[in-house]
Structure formats: structure tokens, C-alpha cells
Amino acid sequence: MPLQTLAMFFLGTLAAGGVAWVFIYPLLSGERRAEQRKASVARAQPMIASPAARAVPKVRREQVEETLKDIEARRRKAKSPPLSVRISQAGLSWSKRQFIMISAGLAVVASAIAFFTGTGLLTTAGACFAAGFGFPRWMLHFLKKRRERKFLEAFADAVDVIVRGVKAGLPLGDCLRVIATDSQEPVKGEFRAITETQTIGMPLGEACTRLYESMPLPEANFFGIVISIQQKAGGNLSEALGNLSRVLRDRKKMQAKIRAMSMEAKASAVIIGSLPPAVMLLVYITSPTYIELLWTTELGRLMLAACVTWMSIGVFVMKKMINFDF
């Protein structure tokens, strides 16, 4: 009997100890509080953004929108630049007064030649207008397009130099100065103008956006947008310029492909446009008295003027058909 009582007491004590271990020990040891703390840390708490944190994306968005509006306004302004800007876009160092004086001199020379050859008052007026107004502006357009082609040939390499310099840890201003020193014209001159305007206090983003004013190309506009947005809103400049470099090279490849595909049409247009003058020259060599009626009689001059007008319209239409813009 005492043995049974001892066994019951032992089992009761063991059960009481087990109950105490299960229910009382966690409260005394702090394990339950530790589990609750770990659960509170692991559980995703709803983040309550402060007004300042909510305002950061809004401010960046407003800065980007303001930058794009400014660039769009400059792009519309660059569509009809004044004469002084067109002279600088052509790469000439003339002033507006010098250009007007040269145009007036060409008009006087052409009028004198036409007057002393006895071609008539109407022909003299046409020669004066063509030499004093048409030819100088056509020459500006030709020089501008040639300068833009040279710029595009070296611009992608210049952007790659900036990307490698930024990845190497150089500041953006130093990368621009490297291009302004070692690149070829006209990229060298344009980036020198950027560094000079930035040196006198103009922000770098605004100085880069001014590149489109002197070089009105989509590629220059892309570069100005990337730099301006990065300066105001931040971001990975090397990645953005690397993407821009790939876009520039893809556009260059597409332009070369379009030029190769349109060469057949251009050759046909040149042949068709040169046939009438060539035939006139051959007829004049073989029988000059037969074709002299075109410029010795009133009806012949009228027919010749009509032929030149229709030929010019045909050449203009063919040029529009084979001129691809993208």
C-alpha cells in the first residue's frame, strides 16, 4: 500500500510538472514574448508613407515634364531659325551683314552678265534673283546637310566615349572635355561650345539641350533630353547613354540601308533628268541653226521656259518619291 501511494504521488508530481512546463514555463522564460516579437518582425506591416516620401516621385515627374516641355518648345523654335543661326549651322563664320553683302555682290555680277549678253529684262531679273537670293540660301542648305552628315558619322563614337568614361568613374564634364579635345569636326566644335557655356555658369543639362539649336538633328535632341533629365531627376547615366548609342547606330544602319535601296531610283531620276539637256547639246552641235529657234524667237523662248518649268516639277516630284525620312 505505501508503494502504491508512493507511485501515485510520483505520477501526480510528474503530471503537475508537465502541466507547469507546458503552461507556466513559457510565461516565465519569455519564449512567448520572443515568438510574438519575431512574428511581428516577419509580418509585412503596411507602410505609411510620409508626405515628404510621397512628394519625391511627384517632384521628379514634374521635373521631367518641365524638361520635356522646354525641349519641345526649343524644337519648334528651331524649325524656322533666323539667318544668323542658319549661317552658324552651315559651319560658316560669317556675320549676317557679310552674308547679305556677298549675296548682293552675286546678284550684281549675274545681272551685269545677263544685261551685257543681251538676254532681255525678264532674264536679267531672273538671273539677279537666282544669284542673289536662291543660290546663297541653297548653298547654306547644302553646307548644313553636309555638316550634319559629318556630325552623325562621329556622334555615336563620341557617346560611346562618354559611356566608357562614366563607367570608369570620370565626371560627365571631363568626358565632354575629352570629346571637345580629341574628336573630329564638327563634333569637336559642338562639344567645345557645350563645355564653354557650362564653364561660364550654365547648367550642364541646359548646355546639352542647346546642341539641338546648332545641330537640328533628332540624334542631338535625344542626347540633350537624356542629359537634361538625368541632371534633374537622376538615374543611371551610363545605361541611358549606352541605350542612346545603340539607337544611334541602329538609325545609322537603317539610313544606310534606305540609301542603298533608293540608289536605283536616284540613278533613274538622274538619267531621266539629264536626257533633255544632253539631247539639246547634241542637236546644237550637229545642227545649231535648227535648235537656235528656241532662244532666238519669242515662241521658242516661251516653249523653252515651259519645258524648264515642267522638267523642274518632274525632278522635284522624283526627289520627293525617293527621299525617305524617318
**What is the per-residue pLDDT across 71-117, written as a single tens digit (0 to 9) for each?**
566 666 656 677 888 888 888 888 888 888 988 888 888 888 877 77
> Is 122 in the same domain as 271?
no
Report the C-alpha gap between 152 and 172 in whole angstroms: 21
> Is 284 in the same domain as 316?
yes
Radius of gyration of the chain (CA): 39
pLDDT band of residue 191 (cuts 50, 70, 90) is: confident
Q: Is the pLDDT of residue 42 over 70?
A: no
> Is 125 in the same domain as 202?
yes
- pLDDT at 195 (0 to 100): 84
As for how many domains the chain has, the answer is 2
Question: Of 227, 257, 287, which residue constitutes the final position of a domain?
Answer: 257
Report the C-alpha gap between 53 and 227 in whole angstroms: 25
Could you give the percent of the chain with pLDDT greater than 90?
Answer: 0
> Is 181 in the same domain as 224?
yes
Mean pLDDT, the chain, as a whole number? 76
Question: Of 242, 257, 272, which residue constitutes the final position of a domain?
Answer: 257
Report the C-alpha gap between 149 and 255 in whole angstroms: 11
> Is 144 in the same domain as 116?
yes
- pLDDT at 270 (0 to 100): 81
Residue type, 87: I
Q: Is the pLDDT of residue 57 over 60?
A: no
Question: pLDDT digit string (tens) for 289-309?
Answer: 888 888 888 888 888 888 888
SS3 120: coil
Q: Between 9 and 268, where is the model more confident?
A: 268
Answer yes or no: is 12 within a domain: no
Question: pLDDT digit string (tens) for 220-248?
Answer: 888 888 888 777 776 677 788 888 888 88
Residue 195 · residue 177 · CB < 8 Å: yes
295: containing domain: 262-326
pLDDT band of residue 178 (cuts 50, 70, 90) is: confident
- pLDDT at 21 (0 to 100): 57
Choose among 239, 213, 90: nearest CA to 159.
239
